[in-house]
Structure 1
Amino acid sequence: MVIEIPAQSVKELRNQTGAGMMDCKKALQDSKGNMQSAIETLRKKGLASADKKSNRITAEGTIESYIHVGSRIGVMVELNCETDFVARRVEFHRLAKDIAMQVAASPSVRYVSIDEIDEKIILNETKIESGKEDLVHKSQLIKDNIIAARINKRLKEMSLMNQPFIKNQDVSIEQLVKQHIALLGENIKIRRFEKFILGEGLEKKNNNFASEVQKIITQG
């Protein structure tokens, strides 16, 4: 016997997973109304669906911007999809905006994914970790394991895809993108982003007001 699922439960599940309404309803029916079980089912289904689409060409999309309150931090993100139809969807633009906000809120992020991090940077980080004093008296095996764990943590800090989503800490940006792949039915990729911080790279002039006043008086 198929159990009746309240519309509110279906809506709540859709908000949490990004899956289609009918998929949410079926997942709740299969789990006999258990929300957590239905979420797990849909996440597995969504990840499998997203993985199948991961090699499709993404030549359409949008460039989204976000200016943080106070106008001191700005971000531009290029988010790609397969068709112009999906590129115009509200959900796609909302995703692009959320990703731009994520970049603004993640000071350590420099790359879209770990795969983009240059080998020279990884070697330099490894060199830094290897020279730390707390590893001096460790055996080589333990030292290697600690360094590997620290490097892995550091690389994840630099990677956008590995960040916990600011609006839902239980979901990473990678999972968020995959949820939207399942929702919209197309491959979606974050191609690139750029962050602008007001005054970054400029040498700020530190004026001594008293000396400036004295200089004016002297010249006068």
Structure 2
Amino acid sequence: MCIQISAQYVKKLRDKTGAGMMNCKKALRAAKGDMDLAIENLRQQGLASASKKSMRIATEGLIESYIHSGSRIGVLLELNCETDFVARHSEFQSLAKNLAMQIVACTDVEYVCKDDIPNHIIDLEKKIEFSKNDLINKPDSIRFAIVKGRIDKRLKELSLLDQAFIRNPDISIENLIEQKKALLGENIKVRRFQKFILGEGLEKINDFSKEVADILQK
């Protein structure tokens, strides 16, 4: 039976460890709600050691670019860390390359995280969902529950941090960054990115996610 963990309890563990919300939730469930055991589990995974790093200012880093095969889509990404030493580290540079490729592979991604998504975008998505035919004859309580689930799913599709890492789908991009924080000992943040698509807005749309997956298999 799945143990119900409150959002407040998850936040408490996050405040103690600095680990991502989903990591904290999974750790608490695995520990059956035992806070100390959850902290120990996170430390064993190398996630709790990133504690407090998210509060430190990251003003160094690099601008990474990725131009996909055929030069039809490209990405510019700003990835920040705390020192120039870490910015020159191979692990940090590899992370930047992987993130840029991830953005190309995830065609729906437009924002770094869900908190960056403007309210008017969320309101538009809600309007679209509430107007769908399959919800018209359902009771309000059911309609609201279904729409909430669909909106949560849609916001995750738009958020880079919520994506499954294309090189290891068992972890999210947020997990990946937390691991690099623990490894490199510094705060690491994706500040911004911009995607450039050749002929964007025209009728023909290319599936770049499949092409990136093909490249990774080579």
1:147 alignment partner in structure 2 = 147
Task: Give the unaligned 5+ runs of structure 1.
Answer: 1-39, 205-220
Structure 2 distance, partners of 1:44, 1:190, is 25
1:20-169 map, 5 Å: 41=41, 45-169=45-169
Contact (CA 8 Å) 2:42, 2:48: kept in 1 or not? no
- What SS does the aligned partner of 2:52 have? helix
2:172 alignment partner in structure 1 = 172
What is the alpha-carbon root mean square deviation over aligned residues? 1.8
2:190 alignment partner in structure 1 = 190
- What SS does the aligned partner of 1:151 have? helix
Structure 1 distance, partners of 2:164, 2:110, is 15
- What SS does the aligned partner of 1:162 have? coil
Task: State the Cα distance separating 1:160 from its structure 2 match.
Answer: 0.4
Structure 2 distance, partners of 1:182, 1:77, is 22
Counterpart AA for 1:163 = Q
| 1:120-145 superposed Cα distances (whole Å, 9 cap, x missing partner) | 11011001101111111211111111
Task: State the Cα distance separating 1:52 from its structure 2 match.
Answer: 2.0
Counterpart AA for 1:141 = S
Alpha carbons of 1:115 and 1:123: their partners in 2 closer, same or farther (altered >3 Å)?
same
Alpha carbons of 1:198 and 1:176: their partners in 2 closer, same or farther (altered >3 Å)?
same
Structure 2 distance, partners of 1:180, 1:134, is 43
Structure 1 distance, partners of 2:169, 2:81, is 25
Alpha carbons of 1:203 and 1:151: their partners in 2 closer, same or farther (altered >3 Å)?
closer
Structure 2 distance, partners of 1:45, 1:114, is 25
Structure 2 distance, partners of 1:185, 1:162, is 23
Structure 1 distance, partners of 2:201, 2:139, is 42
- What SS does the aligned partner of 1:110 have? coil
Larger radius of gyration: 1
Task: State the Cα distance separating 1:47 from its structure 2 match.
Answer: 2.5
Task: State the Cα distance separating 1:55 from its structure 2 match.
Answer: 1.2
Alpha carbons of 1:138 and 1:192: their partners in 2 closer, same or farther (altered >3 Å)?
same
Task: State the Cα distance separating 1:203 from its structure 2 match.
Answer: 8.8
Q: State TM-score, norm by structure 1.
A: 0.71
Identity, % of aligned positions: 63
Contact (CA 8 Å) 2:43, 2:49: kept in 1 or not? no
| 1:50-92 superposed Cα distances (whole Å, 9 cap, x missing partner) | 2421111000000011111111111111000011110110000
Task: State the Cα distance separating 1:42 from its structure 2 match.
Answer: 5.9
Task: State the Cα distance separating 1:49 from its structure 2 match.
Answer: 2.3
- What SS does the aligned partner of 1:77 have? strand
Task: Give the unaligned 5+ runs of structure 2.
Answer: 1-39, 205-218
Structure 1 distance, partners of 2:158, 2:117, is 8
Structure 1 distance, partners of 2:135, 2:170, is 33
1:214 alignment partner in structure 2 = none
